[in-house]
Amino acid sequence: MKKQVPDEQPQFYTRLPVLRAERGMSRKELAELAGVHYQTIGYLERGEYSPSLVLALRIAAALAVPLDAVFSLTPFASMADQLYNTEGENR
């Protein structure tokens, strides 16, 4: 069964929605690229469960970025900040 409410604090953080938006992909498209069910992408974006390593690797490959750019144990800084904002402490 899925988590109906994400009451627990997240096990991981993801840039999936951002990266997908940047590429103008729907979940369905990304899912097909990664070879998974399109609902699975939704569950990941909503943090309803955390993926397996191979799924995460396939997603990163489909987005053409290293895995650490998509998933992390610690929160991501906004990419805009990283690019344009000197104040951005986190990487």
Residues forming contacts to a second copy in the complex (CB under 8 A) are: 11-12, 50-58, 61, 66-68, 71-73
The answer to whether 88 and 82 are in contact (CB under 8 A) is: yes
Q: For residue 38, with 0-12 CB atoms within 10 Å meaning exposed, 13-18 middle and 19 or more buried, which class applies?
A: middle
CB of 30 to DNA, least distance (A): 8
CB of 7 to DNA, least distance (A): 12
Q: Which is nearer to DNA, 45 or 81 (CB)?
A: 45
Question: CA–CA separation, 86 vs 45, rounded Å?
Answer: 28
Using CB under 7 A as the binding rule, whether residue 35 contacts DNA is answered as: yes
Q: Within 10 A of 21 (CB to CB), how many other CB atoms are there?
A: 10
Six-digit token string for 21: 């938006």
Q: Which is nearer to a second copy, 20 or 44 (CB)?
A: 44
Contact set for DNA, span 36-75 (CB under 7 A): 36-40, 42-46, 49-52, 54-55
